[in-house]
């Protein structure tokens, strides 16, 4: 070992301590940067290679070597946080769909369709008890109250249709966000691969990509596959959204002239894909499953209402239908949308009598209709509350998972200040070693051969 090897050791110690202080400063500077993962200096003791006859005994090592600056992250914690965030986003979207359905009904028992049905039943009851002088006014009130029920039902149908249109727009906005994020991930893949191949550090680029991958997971439940060179591929279902430096386009397929009941589907690069979770799945489930089921229930209610009222009215011979659920072509479809008064006049009593048979029958039939509607409202309220509870629970789980990830990757200022002091002392000590060696060498150089002169 050279007499001057101690200088090299001290120099490397100074460099390692300086790199540690710089890295600690980078961590402190980014304590509030979203998505930043703390970094640490990787170092190892230097190995003094000696072979053959030049081997020296009892020689210290070759100082310290900085082997790199690593990004602190836990792959399992990160994957869990992404998965839980995707579930939370899906449940939140589902909860919003149910909240929209509940809002469309706007039925509190004292308002909405329940009140309209109660008012209609009261009007029929008044007609059933009306005398000869009040019969015309009572029949007019029945028509008015019936029209109010019709307007409420068709209004709810319009609300559901509007919600379907809103979900379609929301799905397309999510698709646009996904495509932007996927394109950025592909660009970062190329940048990371190039940086690592050149021997550089790509920690900040990796942080940026992780944020984008979290965005993709929250929207589509996307999964990632690690490839060589620091590259990741991203899959939505079984379709590749990002492959190396290339990204495919995710699109929402909306049938021409789509209305509530038309299925929205997802394509990735022209191939069918099915998001496993995430906000997009929640939106698609709402548009393709939840809303159509509520539309079917509303159509069934409209059909039942019309059938029972018409049955009651036709207990008096000669009366026609009071309500219709057919379209302009006479097709019995879209009952809630097509529900309307026929405009037919009706008699409440058989010819030559004032038995008010039609009115009495209508009161009886409306009891059944009202009971069925209350059951429907209760079911919707229960489903909406359950969806809200699931969303809240999923959000709490996601927050805990994110906290677990942050505990590993996040910057702790107390820890960083401790590291900073440690590196500062190491730097001072290395400098003192260098000073001591310098003084020793100075003594050796100046004093050698001088003694005895």
Q: What is the mean pLDDT of residues 386-412?
A: 94
452: pLDDT strictly greater than 60: no
3: pLDDT strictly greater than 60: no
CA angle 174, 176, 177 (to 5 degrees): 65
pLDDT at 27: 92
The mean of the pLDDT values for the chain is 90
The pair phi, psi for residue 268, each rounded to 5°, is -125, 115
Express as a percent the part of the chain with pLDDT over 70: 95
Q: What is the pLDDT of residues 68-121, one digit of tens each?
A: 899 999 999 999 999 999 999 999 999 999 999 999 888 877 788 999 999 999
441: pLDDT strictly greater than 90: no
pLDDT at 348: 85
159: pLDDT strictly greater than 90: yes
pLDDT at 194: 95
For residue 57 the two structure tokens come to 């005994």
* Choice between 190 and 64, residue whose per-residue pLDDT is larger: 190
pLDDT at 157: 94
Whole-number Å distance between alpha carbons of 157 and 147: 15
For residue 144 the two structure tokens come to 């008015």
Q: What is the pLDDT of residues 167-208, one digit of tens each?
A: 999 999 999 999 999 999 999 999 999 999 998 889 999 999
pLDDT at 53: 62
Question: Confidence band (pLDDT; 50, 70, 90) for 350?
Answer: confident
Q: What is the mean pLDDT of residues 210-227?
A: 95
* Choice between 50 and 330, residue whose per-residue pLDDT is larger: 330
3-state helix/strand/coil string of 113-159: HHHHHHHHHHHHHHHHHCCCCCHHHHHHHHHHHHHHHHHHHHHHHHH
* Greatest mean pLDDT among 63-72, 176-185, 318-327, 428-437: 176-185
Q: What is the pLDDT of residues 128-151, one digit of tens each?
A: 998 878 888 998 999 999 999 999
């Amino acid at each position: 070992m050279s007499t001057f090897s101690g200088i090299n050791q001290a120099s490397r110690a100074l460099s390692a301590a300086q790199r540690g202080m710089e890295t600690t400063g980078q961590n402190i500077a980014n304590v509030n940067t979203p998505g930043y993962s703390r970094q640490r200096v990787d170092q190892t003791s230097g190995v003094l290679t000696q072979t053959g006859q030049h081997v020296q005994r009892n020689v210290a090592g070759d100082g310290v070597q900085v082997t790199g600056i690593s990004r602190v992250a836990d792959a399992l914690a990160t994957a869990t946080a992404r998965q839980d965030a995707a579930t939370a986003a899906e449940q939140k979207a589902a909860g919003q769909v149910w909240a929209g359905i509940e809002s469309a009904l706007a039925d509190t028992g004292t308002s909405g369709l329940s009140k309209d049905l109660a008012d209609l039943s009261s009007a029929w009851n008044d007609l059933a008890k009306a005398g000869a002088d009040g019969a015309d006014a009572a029949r007019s009130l029945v028509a008015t109250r019936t029209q109010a029920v019709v307007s409420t039902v068709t209004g709810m149908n319009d609300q559901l249709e509007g919600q379907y249109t809103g979900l379609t727009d929301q799905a397309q906005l999510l698709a646009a966000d996904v495509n932007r994020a996927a394109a950025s991930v592909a660009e970062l893949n190329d940048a990371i691969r190039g940086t690592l191949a050149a021997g550089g550090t790509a920690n900040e680029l990796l942080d940026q990509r992780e944020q984008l991958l979290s965005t993709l997971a929250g929207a589509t439940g996307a999964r990632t596959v690690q490839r060589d060179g620091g590259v990741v591929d991203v899959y939505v279902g079984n379709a590749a959204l990002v492959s190396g430096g290339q990204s495919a386009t995710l699109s929402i397929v909306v049938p021409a002239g789509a209305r509530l009941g038309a299925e929205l589907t997802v394509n990735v690069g022209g191939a069918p894909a099915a998001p496993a979770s995430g906000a997009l799945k929640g939106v698609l489930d709402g548009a393709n499953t939840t809303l159509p089921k509520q539309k079917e229930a509303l159509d069934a209610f409209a059909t039942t209402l019309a059938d029972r009222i018409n049955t009651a009215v036709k207990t008096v011979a000669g009366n026609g239908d009071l309500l219709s659920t057919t379209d302009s072509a006479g097709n019995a479809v879209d009952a809630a949308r097509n529900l309307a008064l026929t405009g037919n006049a009706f008699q409440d009593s058989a010819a030559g009598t004032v038995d008010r048979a039609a009115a009495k029958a209508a009161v009886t039939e409306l009891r059944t209709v009202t009971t069925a509607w209350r059951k429907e409202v209760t079911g919707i309220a229960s489903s909406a509350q359950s969806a809200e509870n699931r969303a809240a629970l999923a959000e709490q789980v996601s927050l805990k998972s994110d906290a677990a990830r942050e505990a590993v990757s996040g910057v702790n200022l107390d820890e960083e200040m401790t590291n900073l002091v440690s590196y500062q002392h190491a730097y001072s000590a290395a400098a003192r070693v260098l000073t001591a060696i310098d003084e020793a060498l100075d003594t050796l150089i100046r004093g050698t051969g001088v003694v005895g002169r």
